[in-house]
Amino acid sequence: MKVVVMGAGIIGVSTAWYLLEQGHEVTVVDRQKDAALETSFANGAQISVSFCEPWAHPSAPLKVLKWLARDDSPLLFRPKLDPHQWRWGLSFLTQCTHAAFERNVTQLVALGRYSHESLKSLVAQTGIEYDRLERGILHFFSSTRDFDAAAAGVTLMRRHGVDRRVLSRDEVLKIEPALRSFGEHIAGGTFTASDESGDARVFTQKLARLCQQRGATFLYEHDIVGFDAAGGSVQSLRVGDQLSGERRTLKADAFVAAMGSFTAPLLRPLGIYLNIYPAKGYSATFKLKHPERASVVSMIDDTRKIAVSRLGDTIRVAGTAEMAGYDTGLESSTSRVRCQALVRRYEELFPGVADTSEPHFWAGLRPSTPNNIPYIGRSKLGNLWVNAGHGTLGWTHGAGSGRALAELMSGVQPALDFGFYGSEAGQGLRVATA
């Protein structure tokens, strides 16, 4: 089958790889000069099968309300005159029940586990190197009340077969001694040894090269501008070549929409309404001055809801979310406050370890669904497939989402219990989000 994959982020490139594995002919289209130059560029680097709880939790509405006025809050909802944002917000509220939370976690763990297995096999098969560290993920708490509440999450994950465990302060410091100077502020932590970290951009770009070597065509610097549909299927894709200015149409047997946050607006003219809204997040990457004193275990600082990951001789600090549209700029006062908050916090945690005077700031748009469950499956147009809406976990779920979609497209049932988009179970599970 001839397949056009739209989008060369972690999701599109993983899909392309597994489509090649299934023997298909693949063309990937992206507006950037290379793969992974948008949301997959500088994320928190965590392969986080265990720490996968969605934002939509019974405690979330009150927290979001409290945070409305704070520029440096972990989750900032900036109401706009945008019906898609309001629809997303209302669906989010319907997901903030215990029953929905439990159901969503079940699916996220299933996809995470399948994805982790897929990633490990892919790495073993290809030998791709991407500053991978198989050191687990450590979640530490500065507030005793939040630490006490974390036990519920541990019980939940253990019920799902994930080996997350509770740690005393001393155990936290034993797992990551680099936290020692902050030690007196740590109430305790949780840890999952099987989670890992690595650079999503490097991985995606290397996988894209391997896809090319296996015969896939990459049309970079091509804007996807629209579709020609007739008779219940997509006939062709309209693209604009940025270099020549020419418009052309691409024909194929099947099309995969993997354009992150932009998937929703691009599919709307086809009558396909995906409840995906961008959640802007930030990262700061620092060169290390003292690599020997820097952390190697990937971690989450619960107070600030930020991830800290070691990538070679650099450190990445990433986090925060802003529901405020499609802007990725770093110039607004909110952006500056958020970026500086990352720098300040890193210095509080690890004083003098990195050169924080010249941070590399970045912002990306998490393609978020109200329950953090992505759309993976077939749209109502028979040959148009979707792989989008991976929110906070696109790197974690990348390999598995690509593999599962390629399997579905090849008539193979993926070996995981998941509500695929377009399937009966998928519709049932996503009443509030479809």
CB closer to ligand FAD out of 34 and 171: 34
CB closer to ligand FAD out of 18 and 187: 18
Distance of alpha carbon 91 from its chain centroid, rounded? 20
Helix or strand run (H / E) with residue 402: helix 398-409
Residue 421's identity, in one-letter code, is: Y
Q: What are phi and psi of 363, to 5 degrees?
A: -135, 145
48 near ligand FAD, judged by CB under 6 A: yes
CB 238 within 8 A of CB 226: yes
For ligand FAD, the binding residue among 3, 5, 8, 16 (CB under 6 A) is 8
For ligand FAD, the binding residue among 15, 18, 27, 39 (CB under 6 A) is 39
For ligand FAD, the binding residue among 25, 131, 171, 223 (CB under 6 A) is 223
Q: Point out which residues pair with 2 in neighbouring strands.
A: 25
For ligand FAD, the binding residue among 3, 4, 5, 10 (CB under 6 A) is 10
390 near ligand FAD, judged by CB under 6 A: yes
32 near ligand FAD, judged by CB under 6 A: yes
281 near ligand FAD, judged by CB under 6 A: yes
CB 43 within 8 A of CB 285: no
For ligand FAD, the binding residue among 92, 227, 262, 350 (CB under 6 A) is 262
Q: Point out which residues pair with 191 in neighbouring strands.
A: 138, 165
CB closer to ligand FAD out of 10 and 175: 10
Nearest to 373 by CA among 305, 228, 291, 274: 274
199 near ligand FAD, judged by CB under 6 A: no
Helix or strand run (H / E) with residue 6: strand 2-6
76 near ligand FAD, judged by CB under 6 A: no
Nearest to 427 by CA among 393, 372, 380, 384: 380
CB of residue 363 vs ligand FAD: minimum separation in angstroms?
A: 7
CA dihedral 210, 211, 217, 218 (to 10 degrees): -80
CB 138 within 8 A of CB 191: yes
CB closer to ligand FAD out of 187 and 364: 364
323 near ligand FAD, judged by CB under 6 A: no
Nearest to 264 by CA among 351, 149, 379: 379
For ligand FAD, the binding residue among 3, 4, 5, 11 (CB under 6 A) is 11
CB closer to ligand FAD out of 359 and 394: 394
Three-point CA angle 146, 147, 152, nearest 5°:
90
- Site residues (vs ligand FAD, CB under 6 A): 7-12, 29-32, 37-40, 43-46, 48, 223-224, 258-260, 262, 266, 281-283, 307, 318, 364, 366-367, 388, 390-396
